[in-house]
Amino acid sequence: MKITKTQHSRITAFDEDSIPFGHLFSDHMLVCDYASEAWQRPEIKPYGSWYMAPSSSVFHYGQAVFEGLKAYRDARDSIFLFRPDENAKRLNRSAERLQMPVLPTEIFMEGLKTLVKLDSDWVPRRFGHSLYIRPFLIATQEELRAKPSKTYRFCVVCSPVGAYYEKPLKVVIEQKYSRAASGGTGYAKAAGNYAGALYPTALAIKEGYDQVVWTDAASHGYVEEAGTMNVFFRLGDTLVTPPASDRILDGVTRKSIIALAEREGIQLEQRLISSDEIAAAHREGRLREVFGCGTAAVVSPISALHGKGLDIRLPDLGRQSYGKCMKEKILDIQYNRAADPFGWRLRVV
Ligand code: COI
């Protein structure tokens, strides 16, 4: 791997007291191009812009997929990634769905490790803060015919971050728009999935909500995801989450919560859950808690659920909350504060 270090570090701009999500970028980035049907030599170089022709196919036909993961610093200044192999695999599942070339896992893993090591001063020191890592893959061929690009760029940028959401979320159950449909790209981390979510989310924000809860495109009766997160409902003492499918992102935090809940002996069901069932559970006093989860947000409590005849407020369960318990357990593993029985941590420094 070729490494060109910056002559002008911007580390003095990094103030851990003020790190709004995804605004500041670390000194270096990884770039690896695909051309002539082969991945070229990866390169780490100073973070910065590059020229792209206006005819580059990503601007027109949207071949763009991405990932999100974080680097965590422990009390002894070691730095860890959390389940990066899962991101490497999912990037390639996404790439395949968008007819993009598969990236060799070594380029992803070695690239990330080398980049985070080089920018290790950018990994925040405070518990709960981390270095958000954003790998992405885009089509770069200058071509206006709607067909797969022949050239691509894989790039990784890093941003020191704190909380994604500062407070519990008020959400509305979406009844008109859809994030994904059967046979579509919902399971892929395709940039277009996020673009299509912006308008319905803006409408929900105008109505006073923070996010929408996505429902199935066919009936709008079954809950699928919450904003950019997977979603869990606690009915009595059972956690219920929609099963990963071709419409639902197979979230790394989601699958970690499922594994941790099973280990803790918490009853967990991966099954369809309808808004009618949620309404009935609420009427019967069995809907105790709802939370979203994702890499950026970790676990985010949902305090109000509206729409489809529902107007539900959910009190903070404090120490009784499964969401809080899952968040603590995941953070403890990520920050090397607890044993790692599943082998999820990868030490880079
Ligand atoms: C993540 O949670 O890492 C995501 O990719 C969601 C994004 C909107 C920040």
Per-residue pLDDT tens over the stretch 83-131: 999 999 999 999 999 999 999 999 999 999 999 999 999 999 999 999 9
CA–CA dist 163, 232 (Å, integer): 19
Which of 195, 226, 198, 208 lies closest to 65 in space, CA to CA? 195
**pTM, to two decimals:** 0.97
Lookup result for tokens 């319905």 = 200
Atom of ligand 1 lying closest to residue 194 CA: 8
Which of 211, 217, 118 lies closest to 173 in space, CA to CA? 211
pLDDT of residue 181: 97
Strands 238-241 and 267-270 turn out to be parallel
Answer yes or no: is the C-beta of 295 below 6 A from any ligand 1 atom: yes
What DSSP letter does each residue of 206-273 carry, written as one string?
HTT-SEEEEE-TTTS-BEEEETTBEEEEEETTEEEEPPPBTTB---HHHHHHHHHHHHHT-EEEES--
| Strand ranges, E, within 112-222 | 130-139, 152-161, 169-173, 211-215
Atom of ligand 1 lying closest to residue 21 CA: 9
pLDDT of residue 326: 98
C-alpha dihedral sign at 268, 274, 275, 276: negative
Q: Write down how long the chain is.
A: 349
Torsion from C-alpha of 143, 145, 150, 151, nearest 10 degrees: 40
| Ranges of the chain with pLDDT below 50 | none
Atom of ligand 1 lying closest to residue 22 CA: 9
Domains plus CATH for the chain?
Answer: 2-161 (3.30.470.10), 169-334 (3.20.10.10)
Q: How far is CA 139 from the centre of its chain?
A: 21
> 294 CA distance to ligand 1 centroid (A)?
7
H or E stretch covering 309: none
pLDDT of residue 309: 84
Mutation to probe ligand 1, out of 81, 156, 164, 255 (largest number of atoms < 8 A from CB): 164
User: How many other CB atoms sit within 10 Å of the CB of residue 85?
Assistant: 14
Mutation to probe ligand 1, out of 295, 298, 334 (largest number of atoms < 8 A from CB): 295
H or E stretch covering 84: helix 84-97
**Joined tokens for residue 68:** 């999100």
> 252 CA distance to ligand 1 centroid (A)?
11
pLDDT of residue 262: 96
Write the pLDDT tens digit of every residue in 261-276. Answer: 999 999 999 999 999 9
**Joined tokens for residue 202:** 């803006």
Which of 41, 34, 32 lies closest to 99 in space, CA to CA? 34
pLDDT of residue 342: 98
pLDDT of residue 308: 85
